[in-house]
């Protein structure tokens, strides 16, 4: 079983924020694969189902971004999932809008949700799918930027990135990490 977690902030206020790319990717995966993600356990909204022939837990932590790690650790314990079977999907300021990158390990690069996951798991060695949201203008505040919504002009790139993340997750589960990295990085 694999645990696929999208990072974001709960509530309608944040639903379309740049910082909620992880949540949006989980929503797309669930819808595309017919997984009802309405259950609530371990401070997360989740669904259990299959992506191709692999059993997965799709989860969105219900605590705020900076506390995401608590939910991830609880979910791993509840479903007996090992670190190698955890995939975290999150936004990334350092990637251009719409680009995705798969990686394992590394620093948080200042992402508070990833810092929380690293802290609670005591390891950096989990798989990440980073979704580029671009950077604010030079005088823009990064916090305001990530908590802002995408412009109408950005939405087509965002929707395309979300669809590619779903494809990358399926590739990762069916063909392995190396194949997914080669195809989507």
pLDDT in tens, 8-36: 999 999 999 999 999 999 999 999 999 99
User: Residue 182: is its pLDDT beyond 90?
Assistant: yes
CATH number at residue 128: 3.40.50.1470
**Known active-site residue 19:** yes
**How confident is the model at residue 142, as a pLDDT?**
87
- pLDDT tier at 54, thresholds 50, 70, 90: very high
DSSP letter for 1, please.
-
Q: Residue 46, exposed/middle/buried by CB under 10 A (0-12, 13-18, 19+)?
A: buried
Supply the range of the domain harboring residue 58: 2-184
Nearest in space to 36 (alpha carbons), one of 23, 48, 28, 26: 48
Instruction: Name the CA dihedral angle for 30, 59, 166, 97, rounded to a multiple of 10 degrees.
Output: 120
Catalytic residue among 19, 28, 90, 111: 19
Instruction: Enter the pTM of the model.
Output: 0.95
- Annotate 8-68 with three-state secondary structure: CCCCHHHCCEHHHHHHHHHHHHHHHCCCCCCEEECCEEEEEEEECCEEEEEEEECCCHHHH
Mean pLDDT, the chain, rounded, equals 94
Number of separate domains in the chain: 1
């Amino acid at each position: 079983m694999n645990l696929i977690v999208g990072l974001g902030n709960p509530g309608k206020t944040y639903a379309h924020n740049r910082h909620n790319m992880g949540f949006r990717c989980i929503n797309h995966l669930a819808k595309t694969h017919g997984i009802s993600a309405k259950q609530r356990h371990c401070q997360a909204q989740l669904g259990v189902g299959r992506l191709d022939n692999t059993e997965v837990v799709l989860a969105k932590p219900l605590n705020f971004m900076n506390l995401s790690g608590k939910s991830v650790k609880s979910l791993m314990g509840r479903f007996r999932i090992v670190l190698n079977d955890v995939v975290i999907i999150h936004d990334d300021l350092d990637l251009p809008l719409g680009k995705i990158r798969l990686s394992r390990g590394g620093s948080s690069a200042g992402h508070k949700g990833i810092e929380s996951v690293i802290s609670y798991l005591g390891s950096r060695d989990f798989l990440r799918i980073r979704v580029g949201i671009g950077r604010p203008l030079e005088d823009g505040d990064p916090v305001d930027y990530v908590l802002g919504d995408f412009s109408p002009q950005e939405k087509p790139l965002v929707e395309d990135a979300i669809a590619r993340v779903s494809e990358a997750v399926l590739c990762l589960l069916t063909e392995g990490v190396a194949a997914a990295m080669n195809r989507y990085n």
